[in-house]
Amino acid sequence: MVFEIPLFPLNTVLFPGMRLPLHIFEERYKEMVADCLPGDRPFVVALIESGPEVGGPAQPRAIGTTALIRDLERLPEGRFNLTAVGQERIRILDVKTTRPYLMAAVEFSPASSAALPAAKHGAEKLWPWLRRYVKGLARVVETDIPLPESAPDPLTVAYLVPVFLNVPADERQSLLEIDEVTDLLERERYILRREVALLRAMHGSDIFGD
């Protein structure tokens, strides 16, 4: 099913379940937020492929994520502080300029095979690496970051990993664009192993309690 939805191109990547704080000050996006209130009308967040984030048109990447507005704070001059929460992975089929802000014709494009045993096995293999990485990260920033002992369902694991990864936007986008959950989990496990090694090189093995 194809439907039209407001489009917010940004220099960041939003995943389903992820929270994204936004400060809205451009007139076109103030209007977009007003049209999406009281928060039950979604918009799309998509990484900018070309063009500016502020003050001009931008061309988005084809894969993005719908978002709903949460925790809205109204500011002077019609500005907003808000938190957007990622909902569904989508594919952008067309971009339209029928309103002050961009509109996108999109279709849902969920990651597949999340219910297969291979996906569950992939999540279980990845989970110790995520816990290890988060443990080291928590010690670096001196903040407790609790995670459960066992892995939740594969799709939740797959979309939880990017919450903690400090990697470039293009690499984050490459993860969002992976269609198969098993492939996504395997790629994330590779990245986590790399990031664990980087933390160890920067802070020593004792950062993990070794």
Give the angle 19-23-29 at the CA atoms, nearest 5°. 105
One DSSP character per residue, 105-126 reads EEEE---B-TTSHHHHHHHHHH
Measured distance CA(30)–CA(24) in Å, rounded: 6
What is the pLDDT at residue 7?
Answer: 97
Q: Which residues of the chain have pLDDT under 70?
A: 39, 210
What is the pLDDT at residue 28?
Answer: 93
Give per-residue pLDDT as tens, 136-173. 998 888 888 888 888 899 999 999 999 999 899 999 99
Measured distance CA(171)–CA(44) in Å, rounded: 19
Residue tagged 């609790």 (tokens): 146
**All domains in the chain, ordered by first residue:** 2-108 (2.30.130.40), 117-208 (no CATH)
**pTM score > 0.85 for this model?**
yes
